Structure 1
């Protein structure tokens, strides 16, 4: 564990504390379940809701099933929740098998069309980190392709019956760095695919596709070759993705626990984190995993977990975990949205903050909506942007001051 520092988990409910305890891999947790069941006010309904929210039922089901069958703790866990988790586990297994088949078909189609692709998460991640595709949840497929092959990939998906969710609005090609993926749905199959051209939304530096491809790995779970990120690149992607979502699902933190226990070139990883401004984000992930899941911190990375900023970021992330916050909902409470906006800024390195502030001077789609100009004159949005922004603010002001 990270020494000389302890996260303040005093606001964690008992149900969350037990869930974290059960997810740890360093000791037997049987007695803790018995104690929880005997405690006054322990809410198994809430416990089950937490398991589902954090998407931990595949990994947890085996543990709870074994504990429930043990004569000494048979009464500790209500049988209806074991049965509910078994149903969730089985449904997830079928889902992962479907995703595996679709992933293989898509990789084969892209390869035959000359498109290099890297699967970012999904079944390959479950197999790599948990040794079994059924032990991790996944709702969609995330595939990274070179940006110059994006249009070709889109046409191939449409030929497969996928429909593009055309939600991205852009002016002067700002989509290339403000966004990082486009989403496709297949209504008959019930499949969702996110095609990435970046690992994370910009602005900010990250490894280019060529570098990632050079360090790729081959998955062993399909007949046709399916490639995914090298281990150090995967660690960088997982910590940046989890941090961007506030670690609001513990599934992402258990991923860090698993990958941190694998063999890795830690010196190379540290160079990657430093090169792309993610040292403090990597440290945040390791602090959270160490404190909450008892993940061993590699000796080569212990120094970065002693950074004050990284420790503050780790403490701030507990806001999301303890409240079961869903950042993927259609609506996000205003207080959560404000907190998340501030937290995202604190996650940025100095260079990322500078680029982020400078990005406000680049025209937004809203500018084109405020004042429609012919495409050949779109460059005028650069000098006009401050005035268009001020115009929108003054138009909104009366609404915010409206009477009751």
Structure 2
């Protein structure tokens, strides 16, 4: 049975939709029984406070309790200050990479905020994601070290990686996290948009020639093409089971402000083996935000019998804050893969391919790297025996950090 949204949940969705479209907030949306503490918690949890506040501030501000309005304004002001600082950081890092001849494309974060929302202060994000070639990782790592960043590790006891561990990192993982020594700024170098367990091989080589540019802090920064950006948003949201309203807002805002060549995006999704992920993201966005999709796209959605059950699953769990076992996330992710052989590879990779915690746990010589699979199995066994279910937003590659703000 489909879960009914509560009044506060419905209200947050409506206001986010109004904020994206620039439409007025209807007076009857401010239902008398709203629990504003819950409203503030939801906007914070789903990282949509600035967008929500923008929708209500000028239309019905007098109906918002002063305490709630103060909470929303403080959060929105903090996001604006932080985003401006990260915008400057994006420009400076882009220049540093270019000076060293490193091809790098910032995506999500301030770039997505600028392009999809028109204002960097309207979207919450936490870290900076940069797509680079795997062969450029040593040079990109050196640039970040020179800029004052240190590598971040999953295990608190990890004190640097050996050369063999670094090789295994680039072989099996998909990103490398760094944190500034003096500022609360995190940067992630990605050489794949998704982990190897997915058949979706979106890498820098496949998107570089299609890139465009946007001006950030007076610097022309390379960005993904509109079609690649939409694919990136949809595969990222699907990876996280669309459990943040912000990720759905990203798709809705991007489609509201920018034109898409739908034939191209469908063709690229097929070549990258992520058509169902794309269609699921579009179906979820259309159902919650009434986003208009071309007839041919709606037909593709209707033609895939797996989309509707997946969409209902997303809807039913969108506002569910309870913890869930990791294998349930894997099950959802596997259902977004169309081919049976891809699902088989996915499950085998989940069970046997090492992740960042496995690699950090022990240093193996490169010839013995296949033995990391045994480390992986041991960790999964310990988890199955006694570890708690994973919290929402927590990833296998880094259990200590949440991905609420990428």
Q: TM-score range by the shorter chain?
A: 0.7 to 0.9
Go from structure 1 to structure 2 and tell me whether the alpha carbon gap of 1:82 and 1:362 turns closer, same or farther (over 3 Å shift): closer
Moved more, 340-349 or 11-20: 340-349
2:400 alignment partner in structure 1: none
SS at match of 1:219: strand
2:174 alignment partner in structure 1: 180
What are the Cα deviations for residues 223-267 of structure 1, in whole angstroms up to 9, with x where unaligned? 222111111101111000011111111111011112223211100
1:257 alignment partner in structure 2: 252
Asked whether the 8 Å contact 1:53–1:324 carries over to 2, the reply is no
**Structure 1 residue corresponding to 2:149, chosen from 151, 154, 162:** 162
1:375 alignment partner in structure 2: 365
What are the Cα deviations for residues 10-50 of structure 1, in whole angstroms up to 9, with x where unaligned? 4322110111122224664323333x1x23xx311111100
Asked whether the 8 Å contact 2:179–2:187 carries over to 1, the reply is yes
**Structure 2 residue corresponding to 1:308, chosen from 305, 308, 327:** 305
Q: Where does the alignment leave 5 or more consecutive residues of structure 2 unmatched? A: 156-160, 388-406
For residues 295 and 397 of structure 1, what CA distance do their matches in structure 2 show? Answer: 41
Go from structure 1 to structure 2 and tell me whether the alpha carbon gap of 1:358 and 1:206 turns closer, same or farther (over 3 Å shift): same
- Answer yes or no: is 1:189 the counterpart of 2:183: yes
Asked whether the 8 Å contact 1:267–1:300 carries over to 2, the reply is no
- 1:15-30 → structure 2 map (5 Å cutoff): 15-25=8-18, 28-30=24-26
**Structure 2 residue corresponding to 1:269, chosen from 261, 265, 271:** 265
Length-normalised TM-score, structure 2: 0.82
SS at match of 1:143: strand
What are the Cα deviations for residues 167-194 of structure 1, in whole angstroms up to 9, with x where unaligned? 3988795534542111101131111111
What are the Cα deviations for residues 37-95 of structure 1, in whole angstroms up to 9, with x where unaligned? x23xx3111111001111111112121111234xxxx3x32122222212211111111
Asked whether the 8 Å contact 1:219–1:225 carries over to 2, the reply is yes
- Answer yes or no: is 1:355 the counterpart of 2:345: yes
Asked whether the 8 Å contact 2:174–2:196 carries over to 1, the reply is yes
What are the Cα deviations for residues 307-356 of structure 1, in whole angstroms up to 9, with x where unaligned? 2201111111124312146xxxxxxx3x3434323212222332431322
For residues 357 and 395 of structure 1, what CA distance do their matches in structure 2 show? Answer: 18
- 1:220-239 → structure 2 map (5 Å cutoff): 220-239=215-234
Go from structure 1 to structure 2 and tell me whether the alpha carbon gap of 1:297 and 1:62 turns closer, same or farther (over 3 Å shift): same
For residues 243 and 396 of structure 1, what CA distance do their matches in structure 2 show? Answer: 24
For residues 158 and 221 of structure 1, what CA distance do their matches in structure 2 show? Answer: 23
Query: Aligned-residue CA RMSD in angstroms?
Result: 3.2
- Answer yes or no: is 1:295 the counterpart of 2:282: no
Go from structure 1 to structure 2 and tell me whether the alpha carbon gap of 1:29 and 1:111 turns closer, same or farther (over 3 Å shift): same
SS at match of 1:220: strand
Go from structure 1 to structure 2 and tell me whether the alpha carbon gap of 1:223 and 1:356 turns closer, same or farther (over 3 Å shift): same
- Answer yes or no: is 1:218 the counterpart of 2:207: no
1:280 alignment partner in structure 2: 276
1:66 alignment partner in structure 2: 58
Aligned length: 372
C-alpha deviation, 1:106, in angstroms: 0.6
- Answer yes or no: is 1:200 the counterpart of 2:190: no
Go from structure 1 to structure 2 and tell me whether the alpha carbon gap of 1:339 and 1:318 turns closer, same or farther (over 3 Å shift): farther
Go from structure 1 to structure 2 and tell me whether the alpha carbon gap of 1:213 and 1:29 turns closer, same or farther (over 3 Å shift): same
2:391 alignment partner in structure 1: none
C-alpha deviation, 1:290, in angstroms: 1.1
Moved more, 226-235 or 24-33: 24-33
SS at match of 2:188: strand
Asked whether the 8 Å contact 2:283–2:301 carries over to 1, the reply is yes
SS at match of 1:163: strand
1:339 alignment partner in structure 2: 328
- Answer yes or no: is 1:54 the counterpart of 2:37: no
Go from structure 1 to structure 2 and tell me whether the alpha carbon gap of 1:374 and 1:197 turns closer, same or farther (over 3 Å shift): closer
For residues 395 and 105 of structure 1, what CA distance do their matches in structure 2 show? Answer: 43
C-alpha deviation, 1:115, in angstroms: 0.6
Asked whether the 8 Å contact 1:146–1:209 carries over to 2, the reply is yes
Asked whether the 8 Å contact 1:117–1:227 carries over to 2, the reply is yes
C-alpha deviation, 1:395, in angstroms: 9.3
Length-normalised TM-score, structure 1: 0.82
For residues 345 and 29 of structure 1, what CA distance do their matches in structure 2 show? Answer: 39
Asked whether the 8 Å contact 1:182–1:195 carries over to 2, the reply is yes
Radius of gyration: which is bigger? 1
Go from structure 1 to structure 2 and tell me whether the alpha carbon gap of 1:199 and 1:68 turns closer, same or farther (over 3 Å shift): same
Q: Where does the alignment leave 5 or more consecutive residues of structure 1 unmatched? A: 1-7, 326-332
2:100 alignment partner in structure 1: 113
For residues 252 and 214 of structure 1, what CA distance do their matches in structure 2 show? Answer: 26
